Structure formats: structure tokens, C-alpha cells
Amino acid sequence: MEHHRSHPAKPLLAATLLALATQVSATRTSTAQTLLQERQMTTTVQANAAARETAPHPYVGMWVTADGHIRHELLPNGRYDEDRGNRKSAYRGRYSITGEHIDYVDDTGFTADGNFVDGVLYHAGMVLRRER
């Protein structure tokens, strides 16, 4: 008489394999979700960087003294062009802005600076307001 007894290790082995398969599947899903999130984050960071490169600084534009004698244009490319009275482009050069402070270097090498306070540019003893 032959007895066929189920080996106690077989159900345990099957349960273990099923648990491992479930875990592998969950890990793959988790890894795929993580990769997707990283890809989306990278795309967002790249889009933000591109926007910063193309969006002009909030201070870009024309700044004018109250009497209109000085017209000081901050261009989006980091250059400025200043008219004085009837003298068009009397001064030209480059500028950089850090916070509320602006530094200028004109094309002859002369340097100057200024500060933005409550929407007003104070530069070289002048008071300039944004032309709207």
C-alpha cells in the first residue's frame, strides 16, 4: 500500500514564492513610480531654469528722472543704455543686480552702483522712477 503524503515544505515553498513574486511586483511598481516622479521633477526644474533664463528681471525697463532729463534703460540682456537730455546713448554698458543693489560698468570701464527702494532707483545722486 502506497501512501502519498503531501510534503509539509511544498505549501510553505509555494507561499514563499507567491510572497516574493508579490514583493517583486510591488518593488517594480514603486521603482517605476519613483523614476516617473524623478523624470517629472527633472522636467519641472529644467522648465523653471529655462523660464528664469528667458524671463526678464523685474527691474528691466526704462527708468527716468522726474524732469525727464535722464532716461536710463535696463535691457533684458544685462546691458543698459542711458540718454542725457538730447544726447542719445550718452552712456552704455553692462549691469548686474543682486537683491536690491545694482552695479554698473560702462563701456569705457567706469563703474557706478545704485539701489532700488520701494520702486525707486537711487543711482549716482539721481532719483529715477520706472516709466510706465
User: What does the alpha-carbon distance between residue 121 and residue 101 come to, in Å, rounded to a whole number?
Assistant: 9
Q: What is the tens place of the pLDDT at every residue in 22-78?
A: 676 666 666 767 666 667 666 655 655 555 566 788 999 999 999 999 999 999 999
Place of cell 524623478: 38
Are 48 and 65 part of one and the same domain?
no
Are 72 and 43 part of one and the same domain?
no
Whole-structure pTM value: 0.59
DSSP 73: E
User: What does the alpha-carbon distance between residue 56 and residue 106 come to, in Å, rounded to a whole number?
Assistant: 20
Count how many domains the chain has: 2
Q: Where are the beta strands (DSSP E) in 28-119?
A: 61-65, 70-74, 79-84, 87-98, 101-106, 111-117
What is the reported pLDDT for 90? 96
Q: What is the tens place of the pLDDT at every residue in 78-93?
A: 999 999 999 999 999 9
Domain presence at residue 4? no
Nearest 5°: phi and psi at 84? -125, 110
Q: Which of 22, 40, 55 is the last residue of a domain?
A: 55
* Alpha-carbon distance values, 110 to 88, 92, 94, 104, 124 (Å): 18, 10, 11, 8, 12
Residue 121: which residues within 8 A CB-CB, separation 6 or more? 59, 63, 72, 102, 114, 115, 127, 128, 129, 130
**Domain extent at residue 46:** 9-55
